[in-house]
Structure 1
Amino acid sequence: MVDAVRVSQLVKDIPALKVVEGKEFLDKRSVSVSDISRPGLELTGYFDFYPKERIQLLGRTEISYSARLDHDLRKHVFTKMCTSDTPCFIVSQGLPIPSELIEAAEIADIPVITSDMATTHLSSVLMQYLDEQLAPRKSVHGVLVEIYGMGVMLTGSSGVGKSETALDLVKRGHRLIADDRVDVYQQDDSTIVGEAPKILKHLMEIRGIGIIDVMNLFGAGAVKDSTEIQLIINLQNWNPNANYDRLGFEEDTRQIFDVDVPQITVPVKVGRNLAIIIEVAAMNFRAKKMGYDASEKFEHNLTELISDNSKPASDKEEKK
């Protein structure tokens, strides 16, 4: 988990932001909360609940209102908004920035930033970025691939064949996100996102070969920076005494933070084509999400068969 995001990193990662004043202060200021403040009441002089630790975003409403204030009042309000905890001021839609704001921010060592984006859109982009950066994170042992646009994480004991299976999937046109270690974070109440640690990005370890660069070998279309983890496939060495699910009625999940991610177990045995099995598992999972469940169809067909066999012979003759 990152405790705070430097304003310099914010400007670097969001190209729509341009620094107008205070470039030398970018590394001195940081953001520790993902909420954004639209300082409307503050412009009227009401500071009882001023969220000074948030990014202060001024749109057309705030800039238009401030233009109605006289110079001294405008200077007083903007000076009061500049605190030691204020990360930065951002003015949207390319609107003219009041000189009093630039002057007060310069005295307080606070960057002033502009953007051509619409205020609501910019607020959404900033909040999503900060939510991702400030979210609690942890590292999970596994391999994350995107199969038919769906994030699938392969787990299992070391040496079970996760990386080799992922390599086979990449050769079949799917995309690698992370090998060996997957950094995961919770994006919202129902979404877990996985990505590779920076040191392992686009890299894969294959026993007997060593480290390979997947993007260099297979092209940019074979990798992706991050994806939502929608399914976990746990690879287990074949155990003849284990009772594996053969009909698909059993449902299992793995909890990551506050989200229960669906999980299935696939036994690994010589002769099984794991890449094809995992492809089919992903397609079958997507079909279930769309409302089609082959196990339910089998159960329905079985019920009908039992019902037909239990009828008297005379009823069967009449049906013919």
Structure 2
Amino acid sequence: MNPSVTVREILEDADKDLGIHVLAGQAGFTNRVSVPRVQKPGLALAGFTDYVQPERVQVLGQAEMAYLKSLPVGRRSETLSGLCRLPIACIIITHSLLPPRRLVEACQSARIPLLFTRVPSATLVNRLTRYLEERLAERACVHGVLMDIFGLGVLLRGKSGIGKSEAALDLIARGHRLVADDVVEIRKVAHKRLLARTNERIGFHMEVRGLGIIDILDLFGVTATRERIPIDLVGHLVDWAEIPNPDRTGLVEDSERILGVEVPMVHIPVRPGRNMATIIEVASRHEMLKHRGTFSARDFNERVLRDLRAASRSKAPRVARAGGKKGGKKP
């Protein structure tokens, strides 16, 4: 089932600066909106209704209201009645424009909430779309620790007790920022973009074995925490014994699929004596370089292969020409 939100929830949660008020159709407050993109039904008013999608917010601005005003009374009534027969979630009129009486009556009869606001259409569409994209985004909760490392969203994963929280605590002491510990809430806000945040109940609390529950915000201050961040890299902490042949070149790139998005992933072997915070920092810097088009392992590999080919050509034996001069004396 696709995620959706009711008209009532939109009225309760949407930006209060929009000043949305109800004119008619309160019986349709349970109508559901499942499409984040707001629609302006200009073509539908002209009679072409094929692209009016159900469960979508419709906005009537100055152009649409001027068009309705230009119609003869009978045609206007017929047009508005036809519009309200469509499976519309709600209609919002912008610029504080007064709706035709027939529109109020048709919305009331069809149980379609008719709303109005004083803000311009562009402002309403922009803010309402952002709100709906966040509310209707695909969601998932994963176990791990999410850090802001050099502005990069790094999700540390691994089995319980592998040392994720301890590594995160060391990173925080180095000036990096905690986003979430233990429960990471993820939303797919674009085709290839994941936005993650902390669980509201957990906040910035962290469990450290031997110390118990600590509050990073109280201990380190606001500069050590961040509310949300896109996920750019997954660092999978694995026991050294579970990886008999760890990657030593970095040429093989791996990824983890989260909500249908492939996120770059590195396997980080863990054993006593390894400075995990430093290794995670280096992995983050390395990923940042990749974003800028620099892939150190691949560039080094290409340079070595190029040198080997050049050396091979220079050492290749010369082939003597077949035959010789006729009548020459034998040595």
1:130 matched residue in structure 2: 132
Question: C-alpha displacement at 1:33, in angstroms?
Answer: 2.4
Question: C-alpha displacement at 1:271, in angstroms?
Answer: 2.6
Q: Deviations over 1:150-173 (max 9, x none)?
A: 111111010111122223323333
TM-score by length of 2: 0.79
Q: Deviations over 1:181-213 (max 9, x none)?
A: 223333333222323333333333223333333
- Identity of matched residues, %: 35
Equivalent residue of 1:158, what SS? coil
Within 5 Å, give how 1:76-225 maps onto structure 2. Answer: 76-82=78-84, 85-92=87-94, 94-100=95-101, 101-106=103-108, 108=111, 110-114=113-117, 116-119=119-122, 122-225=124-227
Q: Deviations over 1:220-251 (max 9, x none)?
A: 34333332211110011222862112232221
Q: Which amino acid aligns with 2:132?
A: L
Within 5 Å, give how 1:44-83 maps onto structure 2. Answer: 44-47=46-49, 50-71=52-73, 73-82=75-84
Aligned CA distance change for structure 1 residues 188 and 48 (closer, same or farther; 3 Å): closer
1:288 matched residue in structure 2: 290
Larger radius of gyration: 2
| Most deviating of 83-92 and 160-169 | 83-92
1:318 matched residue in structure 2: none
Q: What is the CA–CA distance in structure 2 between the aligned matches of 1:225 and 1:25, rounded to whole Å?
A: 37
| Most deviating of 126-135 and 275-284 | 126-135
Tell me if the contact between 1:144 and 1:154 (Cα under 8 Å) persists in the aligned partners: yes
**Stretches of structure 2 lacking an aligned partner (at least 5 in a row):** 316-331
Aligned CA distance change for structure 1 residues 8 and 233 (closer, same or farther; 3 Å): same
Q: Deviations over 1:40-89 (max 9, x none)?
A: 12323454664342101123321221221345544443344345953222
1:247 aligns with 2:249: yes
Aligned CA distance change for structure 1 residues 59 and 148 (closer, same or farther; 3 Å): farther
Equivalent residue of 2:168, what SS? helix
| Most deviating of 235-244 and 68-77 | 68-77
Q: Which amino acid aligns with 1:98?
A: P
1:279 matched residue in structure 2: 281
**Stretches of structure 1 lacking an aligned partner (at least 5 in a row):** 313-320
1:6 aligns with 2:6: yes
Q: What is the CA–CA distance in structure 2 between the aligned matches of 1:230 and 1:28, rounded to whole Å?
A: 38
Aligned CA distance change for structure 1 residues 85 and 204 (closer, same or farther; 3 Å): farther
Equivalent residue of 1:200, what SS? coil
Q: What's the RMSD between the two structures over aligned residues? A: 3.2
Q: What is the CA–CA distance in structure 2 between the aligned matches of 1:6 and 1:170, rounded to whole Å?
A: 40
Q: What is the CA–CA distance in structure 2 between the aligned matches of 1:17 and 1:227, rounded to whole Å?
A: 26
Equivalent residue of 1:204, what SS? strand
2:328 matched residue in structure 1: none
Q: What is the CA–CA distance in structure 1 between the aligned matches of 2:80 and 2:218, rounded to whole Å?
A: 51
TM-score by length of 1: 0.81
